[in-house]
Chains A and B, each alone.
Chain A
Amino acid sequence: MTSQEKQREEAKRERMYDPVLRWQHLQETITWAEANMPPHLRRNRPRVHPSLPKPNRIS
């Protein structure tokens, strides 16, 4: 497998992707990714005062 093969396959899919479905999938991916991020990397997360200990990382 070469990166050229991958690029060709991706370009073909891009052309065949239903635009409405693609938009919906992008929105869902952003939501899903947000839910799967460790708490300290999430947007709109509860903030803590700098003097308090940072939330634990989840690996």
Chain B
Amino acid sequence: MNVDVILESFNRQEVDAILIGGMNFMLRHQPVLTFDIDFWIKDTDENLSRVAAALRDLKAEWGATEKTWGILPSGHEWLRTQQIYCLTTRHGAVDIFRSVEGLSRYGECKARSSIHRSAGGQPYRSLSERDMLACQLALPEGSRRLDRIVYLQKYLKEHP
């Protein structure tokens, strides 16, 4: 997956999004195995339109079912039909979240987030450690990543 190309496309379309999940944790803290890039997006029509444009630039494919899987439908209304979308793009797998378990308001989490750059120079907005931890704790017990929880709890103790 070429993460820089994906970030660049989202930045070019001025998508309002926060990087979450394993890629965010890997970039900010510890090496973890992850093969997709997760974005939590601001859920407005204007932003959904930007998200759709960025995904089209990346030659994304998705379908509500396997039978309808293929190039993206036109417009952005299809992004209103689910809360999460797992897509393939020419540059790697992308997950789009309209809502995130354990986190309530996008604006509040965005205010706590911070902007960083990848080694390739692409800026990205990173979910805060406090919210990373909240995401993990909201998962069913069997799905939680305990090592990540322990790390984040220790980190937050040292960086209150």
B1 lies within 8 A of A9 (CB) = no
Task: Specify the main secondary structure of chain A where it touches its partner.
Answer: helix
Given contacts A1-B97, A13-B87, A13-B88, contact A25 B35 (CB under 8 A): yes
> Which A residues between 24 and 41 are near B, CB-CB below 8 angstroms?
25-26, 28-29, 32-33, 35-37, 41
Main secondary structure, interface of B, reads loop
Shortest distance between the CB of B34 and any CB in chain A (Å) = 8
Count residues on chain B whose CB falls below 8 Å from chain A CBs: 39
B-contacting residues of A (Cβ < 8 Å)?
1-3, 5-6, 9-10, 12-13, 15-18, 21, 25-26, 28-29, 32-33, 35-37, 41, 59
Binding site for A on B (CB under 8 A): 1-4, 26-28, 30-31, 34-35, 61, 63, 65-66, 69, 82-88, 90-93, 95, 97-101, 118-120, 139-140, 143
